[in-house]
């Protein structure tokens, strides 16, 4: 049962939401209202990234001006991140932290709409008693607030980026397929980067561990863009995953994928380039089969030389029942292998020049002593710097394997 005061507050917040036409200021007003009426020390509202990929944004932050510790905004960010990752329907998380000399208590509530976490709301207070009033108020308010956030996000997606629904879905499909977490194996480091373009391309990257503890790396590119490309990508991924998980040799995997997809691809007049590499972390052997994708770069640490690891093969959907070749390379500590899509080599700057292989070689060799993650980050910085203000036309995807010890 809500108290009168809370009922009034609920009414105020809901009417604010109703009146709004998805202006961001509305959330500042709501936070201000909640902050004042609930007598908390700080209240903040966070929006999760609208396309499920990266980034969250703080929409509102109201706090007592002077008495708050300086690192509260940072703690607040961490708490909201945790709340959004917990993905509970309406779970209240209570925690206490020591900020400066003061003990602070937080109550964070993830906000979900249509099964997706769209944001979070955080309250901070000095008094440690459980604030039943906040919990009961938020129980009634969470759904409305989540709907408001959802509306705001859709509005932003439409107006700012002119993203239409179709592209948004395609992007969602694509980002949700990227490897979530890479199993790090002692003595090797693996990292990847995928920078999606405004118009979604059909890049596909997967890194997984097979049943016999080898590392599978698959990189492909579907002809075309948008929803169709995303769907073909999904199909390729499922097919390859099913076959490759048991640890079969790469050329067999590609043969099977081609067999299963050939008919459909030919009928739709499209094709997929795909490479699949299998890495043996103990003996440090890399096996590779390639169906028309760009050859990976191999850097030899001892000589300082690089080579393109070329293996010939027609693309998936090219020739029916075609056998693929298998090739292998023995790696040693310090060697770096880079898998990449044509979005990287063909990234074009304002003067019409492409990033090209020479730049990639340059960046990787200049960073070859770092771990995979640093090499990937450096390459990202260099390619972004190169693009400057130019719009990226195609997805840029690459993965790096570094033999460390």
Partner 1 sequence: MRIMSIEKVEPGMKVGRSIYSANGKTLLANGVKLTSRYIERIKELGIVVIYIYDESVGAIQIDDVVSEKTRLEAIKVTKEAMENIKLNPTLHLASINEAVNDIINELLNHCDTMVNLVDIRALNDYIFGHSVNVAVLSLITAITMGFNKDKLRILGAGALFHDVGKTAIPENILVRATPLTDDEEKLLEEHTTIGFHILRKIESLSLQVAHIALQHHEHYDGTGYPRKIKGDEINEFARIITVADIYDRLTSGMAGGLRFSPLQAVELIIANSGKFFAPEVVKRFIHIIALFPIGTLVVLNTQEKGVVVETFRDFPTRPRVRLLVNSQGNKINPPYEMELASNLDFYIVRVIEEGEL
Q: Which residues of the chain form contacts with partner 1 (CB under 8 A)?
A: 49, 53-55, 57-58, 61, 71-74, 76-77, 81, 160, 193, 195, 304, 363, 365-370, 373-374, 377-378, 380-381, 384-385
Nearer to partner 1, 351 or 385 (CB): 385
What is the nearest approach in angstroms of partner 1 to the Cβ of residue 169?
20
Nearer to partner 1, 4 or 186 (CB): 186
Nearer to partner 1, 69 or 318 (CB): 69
Q: What angle do CA 132, 137, 138 make, to 5 degrees?
A: 100
Q: Which is nearest to 405 in space by CA: 186, 252, 241, 169? A: 186
Nearer to partner 1, 54 or 129 (CB): 54
Q: How many CB atoms lie within 10 A of CB 320?
A: 10
What is the nearest approach in angstroms of partner 1 to the Cβ of residue 282?
23
What is the nearest approach in angstroms of partner 1 to the Cβ of residue 40?
16
Q: What angle do CA 66, 70, 75 make, to 5 degrees?
A: 120
C-alpha span between 61 and 79 (Å, rounded): 14
Nearer to partner 1, 272 or 344 (CB): 344
What is the nearest approach in angstroms of partner 1 to the Cβ of residue 371?
9
- For tokens 């938020």, the residue is 138
What is the nearest approach in angstroms of partner 1 to the Cβ of residue 61?
7
- Mapped onto helix, strand or coil, the DSSP state of residue 329 is strand
- Mapped onto helix, strand or coil, the DSSP state of residue 363 is helix
Nearer to partner 1, 196 or 258 (CB): 196
What is the nearest approach in angstroms of partner 1 to the Cβ of residue 69?
11
C-alpha span between 379 and 398 (Å, rounded): 9
What is the nearest approach in angstroms of partner 1 to the Cβ of residue 193?
8
CA distances from 283 to 319, 332, 336 (A): 34, 9, 15
Nearer to partner 1, 272 or 387 (CB): 387
Tokens of residue 50, six digits: 């609208």
**E strand or H helix at 264, and its extent?**
helix 250-267
C-beta of residue 372 within 8 angstroms of C-beta of residue 193:
no
């Amino acid at each position: 049962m809500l108290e009168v005061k809370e009922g009034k507050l609920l009414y105020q917040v809901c009417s604010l939401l109703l009146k709004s036409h998805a202006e961001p200021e509305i959330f500042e007003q709501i936070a201000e209202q909640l902050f004042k009426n609930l007598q908390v020390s700080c209240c903040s509202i966070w929006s999760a990234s609208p396309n499920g990929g990266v980034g969250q944004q703080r929409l509102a932050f109201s706090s007592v001006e002077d008495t708050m510790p300086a690192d509260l905004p940072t703690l607040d960010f961490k708490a909201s991140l945790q709340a959004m990752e917990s993905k509970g329907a309406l779970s209240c998380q209570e925690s206490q932290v020591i900020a400066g000399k003061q003990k602070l208590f937080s109550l964070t509530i993830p906000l979900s709409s249509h099964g997706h976490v769209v944001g979070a709301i955080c309250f901070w207070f000095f008094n440690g008693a459980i604030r039943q009033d906040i919990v009961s108020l938020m129980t009634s308010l969470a759904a409305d607030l989540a709907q408001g956030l959802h509306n705001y996000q859709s509005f932003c997606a439409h107006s700012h980026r002119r993203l239409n629904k179709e592209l948004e879905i395609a992007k969602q499909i694509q980002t949700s397929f990227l490897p979530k977490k890479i199993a790090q194996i002692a003595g090797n480091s693996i990292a990847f980067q995928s920078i999606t373009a405004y118009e979604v391309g059909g890049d596909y990257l997967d890194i997984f561990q097979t049943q016999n503890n080898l590392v599978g790396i698959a990189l492909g590119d579907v002809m075309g863009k948008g929803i169709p490309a995303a769907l073909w990508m999904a199909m390729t991924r499922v097919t390859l995953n099913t076959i490759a998980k048991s640890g079969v040799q790469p050329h067999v995997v590609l043969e099977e994928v081609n067999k299963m997809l050939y008919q459909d691809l030919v009928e739709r007049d499209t094709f997929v380039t795909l490479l699949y590499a299998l890495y043996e972390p103990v003996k440090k052997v890399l096996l590779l089969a390639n169906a028309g994708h760009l050859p990976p770069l191999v850097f030899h640490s001892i000589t300082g030389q690089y080579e393109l690891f070329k293996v010939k093969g027609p693309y998936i959907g090219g020739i029916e029942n075609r056998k693929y070749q298998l090739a292998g390379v023995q790696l040693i500590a310090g060697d770096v292998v880079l898998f990449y899509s044509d979005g990287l080599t063909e990234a074009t700057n304002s003067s019409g020049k492409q990033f090209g292989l020479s730049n990639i070689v340059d960046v990787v060799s200049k960073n070859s002593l770092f771990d995979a993650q640093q090499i990937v980050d450096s390459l990202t910085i260099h390619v972004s710097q190169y693009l400057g203000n130019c719009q990226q036309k195609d997805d840029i995807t690459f993965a790096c394997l570094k033999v460390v010890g």
